[in-house]
Chains A and B, each alone.
Chain A
Amino acid sequence: MKYLDEYRDPQMARKLAREIHRMTTRPHVIMEICGGQTHAIVRFGIDVLLPAQVSLVHGPGCPVCVTPLELIDKAIDIAARPEVIFCSFGDMLRVPGSEKDLFSVKAQGGDVRIVYSPLDAVQLAKDNPKREVVFFAVGFETTAPGNAMAVYQARQEGLGNFSMLVSHVLVPPAMQAILSSPQNRVKGFLAAGHVCAVMGFEEYEPIAKTYQVPVVVTGFEPLDILQGLLMVIQQLEEGRFEVENQYARAVRREGNRPAQEIIKQVFEVTERKWRGVGSIPQSGLKLRNEYLSFDAEQRFELSDYTRDEPGECKSGLILQGLMKPDECPSFGARCHPQHPLGATMVSSEGACAAYYRYRRVSAGEDQREKKGGV
């Protein structure tokens, strides 16, 4: 497939890896923000090709993983109601709430449907005027324009039976929270390519300057990630801290203006709780007043409550890059995909799930030792 296969070329990958080896003279800790990048790194084995001095930590870029427990419970509450058709992206169905997940609600008779696009949920509302259609609007900035359009169209068309349960989160505040933590070891970032396709990368410039960390907007294929790493390492070695764009075929500095316009029209910034991490100010989106009638929490009069996570789950530390999945005592033992303790083991983009699927045997570690460099 065009614009995919070319970026998986093994010869090119090795070339980039050799160049990284040549350039690296001291240890570097680099974080990739996006769960999709984590998935690609572990799946293709990109980290195995890197010099031992380069340590990759996995960031909180998995909206499924960071959706607060309370919101999952609210989703389950709504989905179980007989008048509701509850629509969601597939990712959310197996994320554990306090007692169960959306999949079990479906098994118990709830009308829970997987959709590919938020507009599919709007169509369901049109086709089922007597039912309440609720869409679980989870995601980072990439998904926000689509979710905004769904509400916008629902309002244009006067759909009184459509509402959204909103759990949108924003990347830059999360990066700042990580960088401000006294335990932070991250010195450079691969920024999330598709988030930046929508939002551009102007907002990372003050972060790079304030915290003196290089930020490289990076894509998702092996060559993208390797090139992004090369660019970050080059900056670190040269003592620079700028924002650069590796994913220029899909990202412009100003981003996608029409998409940003509709996000501003429908949503406003708010404080959000990140599962396992805590509340981060100005880190999420909620519906503006004009659109509040489409807010599912209001429509179903769900009160605010807080939930505690099981103490055993270390996903918070993993999401902040302070621990690797295989360093968690529960990994592979009490916690595995059939019995996940937290969201990072459930979501296909979660670091724990990725490690479990591809790395249980530490095939990666063996190879790094054997290869001893490229």
Chain B
Amino acid sequence: MCLAIPGKIVSIEGEDPFYRCGKISFGGIFKKVSLAYVPEAQVGDYALVHAGFAINLVDEEEAMKVFELLNQIGEIEEDLNGGERSDEVS
């Protein structure tokens, strides 16, 4: 359920918060999306878009944390394998 896709806000229009809209780029196609639920959104932010509405902004810092965790796992593996990395899954 809930297909929501991240896209970059390239322009914003509308003064009334309920009618505020953004033009959002998804790989180069653009869709006009309601920003009513992300009043803090600025041009350049990434928004998660579902059925024509931005339901949240993507937090870049948190996005990176996933990869930090994965790198940590890589280090644990090295220790367990006595310093040898195994990237192959049988």
Contact = CB atoms under 8 A, between A and B. Distances in A.
Interface string B60-90: 1011011101100110110010000001011
Interface residues of A, number: 60
Contacts of A119: 34, 52
B2 A117 contact: no
A293 to B, nearest CB: 20
Contact of B53 (A89, A117, A371): A117
Interface residues of B, number: 41
Interface in A334-374: 349, 371-374
Interface in A136-155: 139-140, 142-143, 145-146, 149, 152-153
Contacts of B1: 34-36, 61-63, 139-140, 142, 192, 194-195, 349
B73 A15 contact: yes
Interface in B10-59: 18, 26-27, 34, 36-39, 46, 48, 50-53, 55-56, 58-59
Given A16-B70, A227-B66, A374-B89, A89 B6 contact: no
Contacts of B76: 19
A4 B37 contact: no
A192 B55 CA distance: 14
A16 B74 CA distance: 9
Nearest to A63: B1
Contacts, number: 140
A265 B3 CA distance: 25
Contacts of A374: 89-90
Interface stretch (A99-107, A251-259, A272-280): A251-259
A223 B89 contact: no
A14 interface: yes
A80 interface: no
B87 A11 contact: yes
Contacts of B50: 142-143, 146, 194
Given A149-B34, A194-B50, A250 B58 contact: yes
Given A15-B77, A16-B73, A194-B50, A249 B58 contact: yes
B51 A250 contact: no
Nearest to B61: A249
Contact of B36 (A12, A149, A250): A149
Contacts of A118: 51-52
A197 interface: yes
Contacts of B67: 6, 12
A180 B58 CA distance: 35
A142 B62 contact: no
Contacts of A251: 56
Interface in A172-208: 192-195, 197-198
Contacts of A224: 66
Nearest to B21: A119
Interface in A43-66: 49, 61-63
A1 B27 contact: yes
B37 A259 contact: yes
Contact of A116 (B52, B63, B89): B52
A18 interface: yes
Contact of A194 (B2, B36, B38, B80): B2
A261 to B, nearest CB: 9
A256 B37 contact: yes
Contacts of A34: 1-2
B44 to A, nearest CB: 12
A69 to B, nearest CB: 19
B60 to A, nearest CB: 8
Contacts of A146: 34, 50-53
A302 interface: no
Shortest Cβ-Cβ A-B pairs, 3 listed = A117-B52, A194-B2, A3-B6
26 contacts: A1-B5, A1-B26, A2-B6, A3-B46, A4-B5, A12-B70, A18-B89, A19-B77, A34-B1, A89-B51, A116-B52, A120-B52, A143-B51, A145-B37, A146-B50, A146-B53, A149-B53, A227-B69, A248-B59, A249-B58, A249-B63, A256-B37, A258-B36, A258-B39, A262-B37, A371-B90
Given A1-B27, A149-B36, 5 more contacts: A18-B77, A19-B73, A143-B51, A149-B53, A197-B55
